[in-house]
Amino acid sequence: MKQLLDFLPIILFFAAYKLYGIYVATGVLMAATTAQMAILYFIDRKLSTMHKVTLALILIFGTLTLVLQDERFIKWKPTVLYGAMALALAVALWGMRKNVLQLMLGTQLILPQPVWHRLTIAWIGYCLFMATINAYVAVYFSTEQWVNFKLWGYVFPLIFLVGQGVYISRHWQGDKLSR
């Protein structure tokens, strides 16, 4: 159910855009994301930092879009989110010598330290890629094309997550690790 819940705001955004345009779709995205976070909070009794940041950015950029009647704000939200994620992971890894992925998932996945390091670098690269590609589409393509990219662009995270799973599986064998 949680996986379906993750896709619900973007599906509703896409449908609202096709029926009513970018401003109604932005309001729908804001409402759907707020409802999504309320449901997640009801289920888990907490929200992750990522959920809080995502909600805040959607509400801030959505409000700017609606108040200023300027669709550029909502189009730039993913770039800001992915850029902030890449920066946070990089600063933690190389500046503070902390591996955020390992801190978050280390109790669920037992992996060698070099694997955690490579995974974090892969996440930094992925976030930079996603920030860059969203910025490119937001600047050089129409709003219609950007909305379509937002829906069909979900292929990028799926490919990345499958690739990451394949990589992790080479180093994780239940309770036994390959070094």
Identity of the residue numbered 42: F
**Residue of 62, 79, 76 whose CA lies nearest to 22:** 62
pTM for this one? 0.83
**Cα separation of 85 and 111, whole Å?**
22
Burial class (CB in 10 A: 0-12, 13-18, 19+), 48: exposed
| Segment 22-69, tens digit of pLDDT | 999 999 999 999 999 999 899 889 988 888 988 999 999 999 999 999
Hey, is 117 helix, strand or coil? Answer: helix
Q: Give the max Cα distance, the chain.
A: 56
